[in-house]
């Protein structure tokens, strides 16, 4: 349609809606993790181990919704190179080496690893949102 202003605002409107919906679900999961976990796990030790990571996820799922919305908006306008750089960089250059050192050298448990993973996802959300706001995608010509 060629309406750059509408295109600029659209992902933010979608991100607000998805974040609001996911906040409600995430809050319920964070407050009541055990009933959710019992749908998938039967071992009481496994359930106890998974409670805190699920709470991390529940409390941050709205940020992940924003991340996915902005990531896909950038992909939709053809900004795949920068999306790939952020995705690969935060996972392979940042998260995995830190996770390896954390487990093998620092003795981190699942809670530390999951916290690191959630932090990596929130970092991606901020980075994708900044890319969108910078607006360099407006100069991309799709064939």
Q: Predicted confidence band at 140 (pLDDT cuts at 50, 70, 90)? A: confident
d(CA 8, CA 87): 22
Going by C-alpha positions, the residue among 12, 4, 1, 36 that lies closest to residue 140 is: 4
Structure tokens at 63: 């940020």
Q: Which long-range contacts (CB under 8 A, 24 or more apart) does 2-7 make?
A: 4/138, 7/77
The CA angle 3-22-134, to the nearest 5 degrees, is 35
Predicted pLDDT at 1: 61
d(CA 65, CA 77): 19
Average pLDDT over residues 125-129: 97
Average pLDDT over residues 65-84: 96
Structure tokens at 18: 């998805």
Averaged confidence pLDDT in the chain: 95
74 φ/ψ angles, rounded to the nearest 5 degrees: -65, -40
Predicted pLDDT at 142: 78
Write the pLDDT tens digit of every residue in 26-69.
999 999 999 999 999 999 999 999 999 999 999 999 999 999 99
Average pLDDT over residues 81-87: 97
């Amino acid at each position: 349609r060629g309406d750059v202003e509408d295109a600029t605002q659209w992902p933010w409107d979608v991100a607000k809606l998805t974040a609001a919906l996911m906040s409600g679900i995430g809050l319920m999961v964070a407050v009541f993790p055990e009933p959710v976990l019992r749908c998938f796990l039967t071992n009481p030790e496994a359930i106890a181990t998974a409670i805190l990571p699920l709470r991390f996820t529940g409390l941050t799922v709205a940020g992940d919704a924003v991340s996915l919305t902005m990531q896909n908006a950038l992909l939709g306008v053809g900004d795949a190179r920068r999306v790939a750089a952020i995705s690969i960089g935060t996972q392979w250059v940042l998260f995995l080496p830190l996770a390896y050192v954390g487990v093998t050298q620092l003795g981190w448990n699942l809670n530390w690893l999951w916290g690191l993973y959630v932090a990596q996802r929130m970092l991606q959300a901020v980075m994708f949102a900044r890319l969108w706001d910078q607006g360099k995608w407006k100069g991309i010509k799709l064939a």
